[in-house]
Structure 1
Amino acid sequence: MARQGLDALDGRMLRLLRERPREGLLEIARRLGVARGTLQARLDRLTGSGVVTGYGPDVDVAALGHGVQAFTTFEVDQPAREAITARLRAVPQIIEAHIVTGPGDIWCRIVGVSNQHVQQVIDHVLEVPGVRRSTTVIALSTVIPHRVQPLVDEVAGLLGDQETHLR
């Protein structure tokens, strides 16, 4: 995917949409000092180009009773990777998965109600033909939750001189 350029208005709009998801576009446009149609056109452009991918609420999995989080790497037989990926999608406790380089082949973020529950999820995946072994670490605490706004701010040129820029 080509890099999507963002300007400062795009960045401020995305920040307000994340900070105030229940506020209407008319109110956000008023806060930004632009017409509602301008805001809608920018949002449509960012949605159409794949920058904006959703509008749903953020959900805290710990508040759903799944307070244990683990990061697991599965080593798999490469010819079986597509079938394994399809099986991983069917496991609700696997909330993220990526094909990776280095040791291991598929990296997963798994949540569970207990360490034993996470172990059951891992054991379930290890039963899938083509999955050879796993390596798991349990997260003790979250110091930086999933976020994208600082990156949006940087791409949109909204970071001040005090912020760290890596390019």
Structure 2
Amino acid sequence: MRNVDRTGARVLLALDQDPLATTVALADRLGLARNTVQNRQHRVETDGTLAPPSVRVRPERLGRPVMAFVTLEIGQVDGHRTLDEISAVPEVCEVHAITGGADLLLRVVARDSADLYRVTRALLSCSGVLRSNTMLSMVEVVPLRMAPLLREMAEDGE
């Protein structure tokens, strides 16, 4: 996997600002050759640089306005089985292996508090899960973003 360079950062930033822009429009806007933009677009679409489009969908538009972060402590069992079971819960949007007092940090969504309770119970029923701790997100203050990093790379060329 190749790191994004200055030109790639410029193309990604332009796509972040206008995801439906054509290659020709991007090339004109960036002052780059169409082939350069087209090659960069193809590269980031195939090398894993871009996340799947579903990541952009807002959970509240899917009837899941409640967001919570759940930490799980897991026992010494088949970790792949545990992760497969956790991943099978549709409301689990993200899972990170972490350090500290827990083993996993999950971002989950739910319809309401009763539904969040159901999701938590489903997670606790997964193989190897010993304990959970749920933290309700009151409001998203700064959403997941990459534009500031892209802007810095596009300007500095790092």
Taking only the aligned residue pairs, the percentage that are identical comes to: 31
One-letter amino acid of the counterpart of residue 98, structure 1: H
Aligned length: 157
Q: CA deviation at 1:84?
A: 1.0
Structure 1 equivalent of residue 107 of structure 2: 109
Contact 2:65 2:109 survives alignment (8 Å): yes
TM-score norm. by structure 1 comes to: 0.84
Structure 2 equivalent of residue 90 of structure 1: 88
Structure 2 equivalent of residue 145 of structure 1: 143
Structure 1 equivalent of residue 29 of structure 2: 31
Q: Output one character per residue of 1:133-152: Cα deviation in whole Å (capped at 9) or x when no partner.
A: 10110000010001112122
Cα distance in 2 between the residues matched to 1:56 and 1:94: 14
Cα distance in 1 between the residues matched to 2:124 and 2:52: 32
Higher RCO structure (Cα 8 Å, ≥6 apart): 2
Cα 1:68–1:56 shift into 2, 3 Å = closer
| CA root-mean-square deviation | 2.1
Cα distance in 2 between the residues matched to 1:31 and 1:96: 35
- Secondary structure of the 1:110 match is strand
Structure 2 unaligned blocks of 5 or more: none
Please say if 1:100 is aligned against 2:98: yes
Cα distance in 1 between the residues matched to 2:55 and 2:107: 20
Structure 1 equivalent of residue 71 of structure 2: 73
Please say if 1:43 is aligned against 2:34: no
Shift >6 Å, 4+ stretches: none
Contact 1:11 1:158 survives alignment (8 Å): no
One-letter amino acid of the counterpart of residue 17, structure 2: E
Q: Output one character per residue of 1:34-87: Cα deviation in whole Å (capped at 9) or x when no partner.
A: 221111122233345432344567211112211100000010013332111101
Contact 2:10 2:150 survives alignment (8 Å): no
Cα 1:28–1:56 shift into 2, 3 Å = farther
- Secondary structure of the 2:5 match is coil
One-letter amino acid of the counterpart of residue 42, structure 1: R
Structure 2 equivalent of residue 128 of structure 1: 126
